[in-house]
Structure 1
Amino acid sequence: MDKRFATPKSMKKVILRVIRTTLLQFGSATKVELSKRLGISFPTVSKVVAQMERDGEVYVVGLDDSSGGRRAKRYAFNPEHMLGLAVFLEENETVYAVFNCVGEVKEQGTRPSVFQDGLHLLIELVQDILLEFPKISSMAIGVPGAVDNGRIFHIPNYKSFHDFELKTYFENLFSIPIVVENDMNAAVLGFQKRSGREDKQSLVYLYSGKNGPGAGILINGDVVRGSTFFTGEISFMPLYDNQNFHQAMYQGRKNTKTRTIGEKHEIHAISRLMASLVAIINPHTVIFSKEEMDQIALNRIAIESTKYVPKEHLPELIVSDWKRDYLHGLQRLALDRMVTGIRLVDVLE
């Protein structure tokens, strides 16, 4: 008997996860190819794939040419077998998307902000979506605040969500794996995946939006979170003797609503921030939202930044679709959780 049949449940989940990942990555494979590529015995792969086929998770897409024996069946992953849900929370709206295992969006919509009337609106929204799409197997939630393993611990504008264990609460409520992520972390991840940038590049995504300045930082393909998950809270950076970055950006303004950046004090503040980023992490690219930055402002920032650091060290400055990047990043996080499969059949029992 193959010793793998006696492995712990965690190993069984790993085997299922790597088979799923391989089929999604390569499109299709035979049992022999899976066994060789993954270094897992053929009997184990055969048993797992047989169970996946019975569950509707994989299906036969054809037969390979014969090399003397029976023609091998070629399997592909059924992208509709499991669905994911991405939701992000903003001051004036809640945006959601339902998608399949290859990221194809099945439904996308906008609801009123849950920040206005409390958590029950978010619960009702998720309940409605799960009733309509019962195959949803994972969910990612984005919030405009600092997050530590699913706990929102810094979200100044929304006190009812402060220090709230959103991940644990929702996992207990809906019995599916949940990812809770900071908005800018999700956005920089989404940009990197959507743009096809190399994993080894360092990226910084800057956005002010409706909740004040924030940044998502990605180095070598990994989101930088810091020792206390406070990375990216650039509002606190003391760029002047008596002002931090937030104060410098919003001097004379009554609110932080999204608008095109172009005032002289804004260009100066961002240029000082740019110099700090160059000196500390020297990023390849800094991304801004097209909602609040145009090419003229980017050119002014590039010129102003050279007062503090040599021109040859400045990153590429570009604009992107923040909402699209944000939602795509959440989709990637939910897809990762979907493939790892918390809600699994233990096929090797």
Structure 2
Amino acid sequence: MNGSIADPKAVRRTILRNLRSALLELGSATKAELSDRLGVSFPTVSKFLGQMEKAGELLPVQLDDSSGGRRANRYSYNPEVMLGLALFLERTETSYIVFNCAGEVKDQGHAASVLTADITDFDALIAALVNKHPQISAVSVGVPAAVNNGRLIYIPEYEQFHDLDLKAHCEQRFQLPTVIENDMNAAVYGYYMARHQRSKLQPSLVYLYFGQNGPGSGIMLDGNIMRGSSFFSGEVSFVPLYDQYNFGEAMRASHPHPRSPDGDLSVDAVARLIAVFAAVLNPHGVILSRHEANEGLLAQLEAASQAYIPREHLPAFILSDWEQDYLYGLQGLSLDLMLSREAGGN
């Protein structure tokens, strides 16, 4: 027998997500408008809106003007009914934001690093935020680690977290849907969501960051995050660029190098890495944090990269706000969980 039967729960979550997204985007809509927009039958839309209304997800809106028949009810979404929590873990601190379904930030701040402590500090921070904001309905966590479906499979220097299934831990401990994401994957996703989500272009992008925990990259191919067969994609420290050094070692070395414009081995190392990305992936752009680079450095990197690959095949060199992109990516991941929840539950 060909084909497969769709999972009813997955279908429900898709319909709920699309209804919520449409109401948030449109501001308000009637059942007929939602049915036409989503391609879902009028009775199905009515059924789901009834459940959402009972759960407090809908706000009253005045009736539409009559065109001769019964005036249609108009619905808008209550963005405060659910809140999302996004945290990212760094060596020196843990940052967090709490936001509503419209993406409006309700709370934000910094706490002591949980990476340098243990899981009990992580639990205490989330518990405190959930107690402060009981409407938190989904959690996203960014980590400087390779992540396989919520399990931290490579997190150097923080052995107490190695091989920890952080997703399962959070969901069991707090009974909240949770997503765990590599920091650079979240950053490139956030950059994409802010600039390309509604465009026809599905770009290929590489986000490079050197950071507190060593270099890493987030890679997007044709609008999709590239994770790799063992979820190790983006761990660029291991790329063997020289006889004596891999990329991570080259970035830590201080030897001068004649191929780079200013004699700096690190500039040459980044230029070589960009040439590798250009030759293998041919991305539209390479993004660097404006806290680690400036226009002058981008010009140096572009010039140095041309020693290894023709200029016409180089990506665009882009500066962006890494922390903002990172948080925006985590916020988008958490929002997706929130909008896919069952009405009034998980």
Query: Normalised by the size of structure 2, how large is the TM-score?
Result: 0.91
| Structure 2 CA distance for partners of 1:343 and 1:266, relative to 1, 3 Å | farther
Q: Distance in 2 between matches of 1:267 and 1:40?
A: 54
Alignment partner of 1:180 is 2:193: no
Q: Distance in 1 between matches of 2:145 and 2:39?
A: 42
Q: Distance in 2 between matches of 1:139 and 1:263?
A: 45
Structure 2 counterpart of 1:242: 244
Q: Distance in 2 between matches of 1:148 and 1:335?
A: 21
**Alpha carbons 2:254, 2:264 under 8 Å: kept:** no
Instruction: Please state how far the C-alpha of 1:293 moved relative to its aligned partner.
Output: 0.8
Structure 2 counterpart of 1:274: 274
Structure 1 counterpart of 2:194: 194
Matched letter for residue 19 of structure 2: I
Structure 1 counterpart of 2:234: 232
Please give the residue correspondences for 1:43-192 in structure 2 after superposition, counting only pairs within 5 Å: 43-192=43-192
The structure 2 residue matched to 1:217, chosen from 219, 222, 238, is 219
Matched letter for residue 33 of structure 1: E
Structure 2 counterpart of 1:259: none
Q: Distance in 1 between matches of 2:283 and 2:325?
A: 19
Q: Distance in 2 between matches of 1:345 and 1:88?
A: 26
Structure 2 counterpart of 1:251: 253
Instruction: Please state how far the C-alpha of 1:35 moved relative to its aligned partner.
Output: 2.1
**C-alpha RMSD over aligned residues:** 1.8
Q: Distance in 1 between matches of 2:299 and 2:333?
A: 34
Structure 2 counterpart of 1:335: 335
Structure 2 counterpart of 1:204: 206
Render the CA deviation track for 1:250-275: whole Å, top value 9, x for unaligned.
1149xxxxxxxx87101100000011
Structure 2 counterpart of 1:19: 19
| Structure 2 CA distance for partners of 1:339 and 1:315, relative to 1, 3 Å | same
| Structure 2 CA distance for partners of 1:269 and 1:8, relative to 1, 3 Å | closer
Range that drifts further, 317-326 or 38-47: 38-47
Q: Distance in 2 between matches of 1:84 and 1:196?
A: 23
Q: Distance in 2 between matches of 1:117 and 1:292?
A: 27
Q: Distance in 2 between matches of 1:307 and 1:38?
A: 51
**Alpha carbons 1:176, 1:342 under 8 Å: kept:** no
Q: Could you say what secondary structure the match of 1:138 adopts?
A: strand
How many residues are aligned here?
Answer: 332
Instruction: Please state how far the C-alpha of 1:186 moved relative to its aligned partner.
Output: 0.3
**Alpha carbons 2:184, 2:216 under 8 Å: kept:** yes
Matched letter for residue 168 of structure 1: A
Structure 1 residues not aligned, in runs of 5+:
1-6, 254-261
Render the CA deviation track for 1:70-91: whole Å, top value 9, x for unaligned.
1111111111110000000000
Q: Distance in 2 between matches of 1:10 and 1:133?
A: 28
Q: Distance in 1 between matches of 2:263 and 2:341?
A: 49
| Structure 2 CA distance for partners of 1:9 and 1:155, relative to 1, 3 Å | closer
Range that drifts further, 33-42 or 103-112: 33-42
**Alpha carbons 1:16, 1:48 under 8 Å: kept:** yes
Range that drifts further, 149-158 or 189-198: 189-198
Instruction: Please state how far the C-alpha of 1:45 moved relative to its aligned partner.
Output: 1.7
**Alpha carbons 1:87, 1:94 under 8 Å: kept:** yes
Q: Distance in 2 between matches of 1:184 and 1:67?
A: 53
Q: Distance in 1 between matches of 2:136 and 2:28?
A: 23
| Structure 2 CA distance for partners of 1:325 and 1:304, relative to 1, 3 Å | same
Instruction: Please state how far the C-alpha of 1:343 moved relative to its aligned partner.
Output: 7.1
Instruction: Please state how far the C-alpha of 1:14 moved relative to its aligned partner.
Output: 3.1
Structure 2 residues not aligned, in runs of 5+:
1-6, 256-261
Matched letter for residue 173 of structure 1: R
Matched letter for residue 35 of structure 2: S
Q: Distance in 1 between matches of 2:228 and 2:140?
A: 21
Aligned sequence identity (%): 51
**Alpha carbons 1:177, 1:342 under 8 Å: kept:** no
Matched letter for residue 223 of structure 2: G
Structure 2 counterpart of 1:35: 35
Q: Could you say what secondary structure the match of 1:63 adopts?
A: coil
